[in-house]
Structure 1
Amino acid sequence: MQYYTELVKASDVIRPGQSVIVEVSYPEDLEGEYKSSVHDVDFERNLLVLSMPSFKGRLVPLPRGTRCTVKIVDSSAIYTFRTAVLESGRDEDGFPITKVLFPNRLRKVQRRRFKRIKIFLEGFYRVSSKDEPLKRFVTRDFSAGGMLMVVNDILTVGQIIYVTMDLDENLKLVDQPARIVREAGILETGERMYGVEFLNVSPSLEKKLVTFVFRKEIEMRNKERGDIE
């Protein structure tokens, strides 16, 4: 994975609803990565209101003074800054929140290609006509740009397929165009592996896929941490 960084104005990139990862470095007993999102932002006071961070679905009211790195996830980049928690609690509507200050400029970590994670997911594909029956596949890895898929049939590099996957409650691929870009070997079972590139991905779908991969990566890291503990 290649990266490059630059500084960008916070007012140009922070928006309510963006996915956020809060990486806590202190206190030691809270170290780890937590899911969150941008709830509200006050650019005059440089105040960022986050939905209260969660770990494995449980809300964690990070105490005042907790040192952390905030990562705001966008479709092609992550915007980061270091800060400390001002307070955790509920807003006037009773919504659980955590407040932090942010600098005028954030570090933009630009990803030159999509993050790929090793994950087993089930999906279905067809080669051409919608009347053609769907064929099952499983993934060996997945990214917002494509996947490594395992199938029973022989496919050809350059061939177009149409992918259907139920990734989570709010994210589904239905007849998503994709191209076979490489042969990746044959398993002992006789199944074949192919590298696949998604085609004609809209900016909104790309952002959802990037967020999905990022969250899955965090879930796997937290699971590994829990298994060790």
Structure 2
Amino acid sequence: MKYSDLNLGLKLELQLLGYDGRRIDKPFVSEFEWAVGNDTVFIAAPIHEGRLYPVQIGTRVIISFIKENNLFEFEAIVIDRESKHNLALLKIQAIGQIEKVQRREFFRFDCCVPVNYREVQLPKQEFKEDIQFIKTVTRDISGGGLCMRLKEPVEQDKLIECELFITSKINFFGRVVRLTKYDTIQGIYRYEIGVVFEKIDAIVREKVVGYIFQEQRRLLKKG
């Protein structure tokens, strides 16, 4: 895959590297703008807590993205910072090739949005109508899954069907990978579950990542 094959607006995850080559801080959300030549790429400058994050020239980074429901990444170095049409940009020079990698944790965006869920026992029960959805909210969302607040527990390894309400309603199936019980009640919720996407359309996943990027931009404009 060539860098010029990437599409304008492709949602990216940006991970900064320290001088020792180790990943530092948590990943940031970014967006592909355009490529120049074989190894130079312009991406949107990352945002942290509603403000542009000061990435220094010379910083090495890992860029990750989803394409055709696969996760890819490449390493690069920041060679300049620019601004075009009021959009802050990073000019990066790729080091090596784009490589397909195994799934890992994605950037998590803290947000409280409505989500409905119901337990599913077997794949053939996916569309069984007599199991009612339960309404609740998220604690955070990422390109790989989400964290949900619950009044009643759902045990680890359970399969659930979900309706997530962001810019529009999206549907997916997820697997519970973590159950946390609070010693004190967090409002009306006593539990949290970590859910990874088990069955989700590539376009739907892109909508999730796009929503995260959109909300980061909104926070920046809000100041």
- Residue 178, structure 1, aligned to residue 178, structure 2: no
Match of 1:82 in 2: 77
Distance in 2, Cα, partners of 1:70 & 1:120 = 26
- By how many angstroms is 1:81 displaced? 0.7
Q: Would the alpha carbon gap of residues 99 and 131 (structure 1) be closer, same or farther in structure 2, given more than 3 Å must change? A: closer
Distance in 2, Cα, partners of 1:88 & 1:118 = 26
Q: Secondary structure at the match of 1:67?
A: coil
After superposition, the C-alpha distances for 1:160-211 in whole angstroms (9 at most, x for unaligned) are 43323334x4xx5534223445543354337233343333112333345456
Q: Would the alpha carbon gap of residues 219 and 184 (structure 1) be closer, same or farther in structure 2, given more than 3 Å must change? A: farther
Match of 1:19 in 2: 11
Q: Would the alpha carbon gap of residues 109 and 70 (structure 1) be closer, same or farther in structure 2, given more than 3 Å must change? A: farther
Q: Would the alpha carbon gap of residues 163 and 147 (structure 1) be closer, same or farther in structure 2, given more than 3 Å must change? A: same
Q: Secondary structure at the match of 2:31?
A: strand
2:7·2:32 contact (CA, 8 Å) conserved in 1? yes
1:67·1:84 contact (CA, 8 Å) conserved in 2? yes
Distance in 1, Cα, partners of 2:130 & 2:106 = 31
Question: What TM-score comes out, normalization by structure 1 length?
Answer: 0.55
- What is the number of equivalent residue pairs in this alignment? 195
- Residue 48, structure 1, aligned to residue 47, structure 2: no
Distance in 1, Cα, partners of 2:87 & 2:109 = 33
Unaligned runs of 5+ in 1: 1-8, 26-31
Q: Would the alpha carbon gap of residues 154 and 219 (structure 1) be closer, same or farther in structure 2, given more than 3 Å must change? A: same
Match of 2:63 in 1: 72
Alignment equivalent of 2:104, drawn from 95, 113, 131: 113
- Residue 145, structure 1, aligned to residue 138, structure 2: no
Match of 2:21 in 1: none
Q: Secondary structure at the match of 1:204?
A: helix
- By how many angstroms is 1:111 displaced? 5.2
Alignment equivalent of 2:32, drawn from 38, 55, 61: 38
Distance in 2, Cα, partners of 1:34 & 1:145 = 14
2:74·2:96 contact (CA, 8 Å) conserved in 1? no
Distance in 1, Cα, partners of 2:62 & 2:94 = 13
Partner amino acid, structure 2, of 1:124? V
Unaligned runs of 5+ in 2: 19-24, 119-127
After superposition, the C-alpha distances for 1:55-95 in whole angstroms (9 at most, x for unaligned) are 577789x9xx943445533022432211412x7354xxx68
- By how many angstroms is 1:36 displaced? 4.8
Distance in 1, Cα, partners of 2:11 & 2:200 = 20
Q: Secondary structure at the match of 2:164?
A: strand
Question: What TM-score comes out, normalization by structure 2 length?
Answer: 0.56
Distance in 1, Cα, partners of 2:157 & 2:97 = 40
Match of 1:3 in 2: none
2:40·2:94 contact (CA, 8 Å) conserved in 1? no
2:149·2:191 contact (CA, 8 Å) conserved in 1? yes
Specify which structure has the higher proportion of strand: 2
- By how many angstroms is 1:126 displaced? 3.8
Q: Would the alpha carbon gap of residues 213 and 77 (structure 1) be closer, same or farther in structure 2, given more than 3 Å must change? A: farther
The share of aligned pairs that are identical, in percent, is 13
Partner amino acid, structure 1, of 2:75? T
Distance in 2, Cα, partners of 1:116 & 1:41 = 24
